[in-house]
Amino acid sequence: MKFIKIIVSIAIAAYLPIALICIFLCIFMIGIAETTGTRVFSLALIILLPLPFIIWISIYYSKKKYWKISSLASPLLSFFLLIICYSITPKGITSTDSEIQSIFLTGQGYQRSSIANLVPEIDQFKFGSYMVPLVDPFINIEKSQRLRKLFLQVYREMRTSNDFKSVGSVMNYAYKDLLTNQRPTNHFYLYIPPNARGENVPLVVFLHGSGGNFKGYMWNWRKFAIANNCVVIAPSFGCGNWDNQGSKLLVQNAIDYCESNSTFKISKRYLIGLSNGGIGIHKLGVEMKNRFHGLALISPVMHSNTHSQSELIEAWKSRPILIIHGSNDLRITTNYIKRKSSQLKYGGINLQVNTIKDEDHFLFFSAWKETKFILAKWMTEINVDSFKRKK
């Protein structure tokens, strides 16, 4: 019995500093939170985290009723708060008339009880923006403040849309990939602008970057889709490691779903990748070369472990590829873009490179107005007939 007490005491001693750090972070979350759900969830954890310590005290060191009552009250109160938190999370249900739809093709669907929905995306990213300077050498405190401002502008605006709030989040896919190296291949967001219904319209397939399929991406694409009357889909592929097995099947299934959709008909198909999505462009640009009229890369990683640059050149010789890049991007440098783009041009690619002055890796949010103008102009210049002859 004494031996067990020693082992338990050592375990509690190891647990206590971890619990204190978590409690501090929860208090911090309450202070910065934009939503009630995050505050309630954080409070539930603050109440629950001391429970092992309380039980340890009540069993081995104190017979006072206070500790025994606390050991019962703590989980009950925490559970009650989590129920409240769950009750105010999005249900993940949208109708076919909603401006945005969250499509689960197979398997397990929307996970309402995941931390990705108990804590809304706006607070996940706000919290992350404070932490990122600790782990990312390219983002200091000043840049993290700028990034936070950009994200909050998008997410606060997005909260005015009931449809966007209703679909919830699939950031749990990214967290699962990060922790287990496993990623579901069954989900994509679908945005159909009102004027596209019953029409022949372009389809944009957007490959997200590392970190997951942020719903904020779709809010920007919403503006593009309305202005250019096109449908946008954004497949969710974990943390965005598009070289991994399953990415092709996911994109194929998402496109097939749209092609069988009676709401609209597809006139052209474009594959557009952001940052790590550039890996997917290199992979799928080769493996699905006959399904797309053009490839576009934004702040891109321009390589793939599954297909070489020469394979992409062979698949897209004389066909259109667009690159949009920020002149101040330290993560994907200008020299890197120049080297990769010169290889594509030398190989005979119909390449257009646009460098946006004074913008960095996050120009998708900071310079979206200019980015969407470049994309729209490029898309309208692609000739469907020439694509058909290439097939």
Is the Cα torsion angle 236, 238, 242, 245 positive or negative in sign?
A: negative
CA distances from 338 to 138, 298, 317, 344, 378 (A): 20, 14, 18, 10, 20
pLDDT at 142: 95
pLDDT at 1: 67
pLDDT band at 262 (very low <50, low <70, confident <90, very high): confident
**Average pLDDT rounded to a whole number, residues 100-123:** 93
What is the average per-residue pLDDT within 196-225? Answer: 96
The count of other CB atoms within 10 Å of the CB of residue 117 is 23
- Contact, 170 vs 236, CB < 8 A? yes
User: What letter would DSSP give residue 60?
Assistant: H
Nearest partner of 225 among 256, 260, 264, judged by Cα: 264
With bands split at pLDDT 50, 70 and 90, how would you rate the model's confidence at 383? low
The pLDDT tens digits for 129-150 are 999 999 999 999 999 999 999 9
pLDDT at res. 57:
86
Q: Give the mean pLDDT of the chain.
A: 93
Q: How far apart are CA 147 and CA 129, in angstroms?
A: 7
pLDDT, residue 384, reads: 56
Read off the tokens for 81: 């708060």
| Per-residue confidence (pLDDT) for residue 261, from 0 to 100 | 82
pLDDT at site 389 = 39
User: Whole-angstrom Cα distance, residue 200 to residue 230?
Assistant: 9
The residue type of 298 is I
pTM above 0.75, yes or no: yes
Give DSSP secondary structure letters for 321-379: EEEEEETT-SSS-HHHHHHHHHHHHHTTBEEEEEEETT--TTHHHHTHHHHHHHHHHHH
The answer to whether the beta carbons of residues 214 and 172 sit under 8 Å apart is no
For the stretch 74-95, pLDDT in tens is 999 999 999 999 999 999 988 8
What is the per-residue pLDDT for 298? Answer: 98
CA atoms within 13 A on the CB side of 330: 6
- Strands 187-191 and 100-104 come out as antiparallel
Least confident of 65-74, 160-169, 191-200: 65-74
Beta pairing class for 350-356 and 320-326: parallel
Residue 58: pLDDT band with limits 50, 70, 90 = confident
pLDDT at residue 387 tops 60:
no
pLDDT: is 346 or 304 the higher one? Answer: 346
Residue 324 forms beta bridges with which residues?
A: 298, 354
Give pLDDT, residue 94. 83
pLDDT digit string, tens, across residues 305-353: 888 889 999 999 999 999 999 999 999 999 999 999 999 999 999 999 9
Q: Is the pLDDT of residue 391 over 50?
A: no
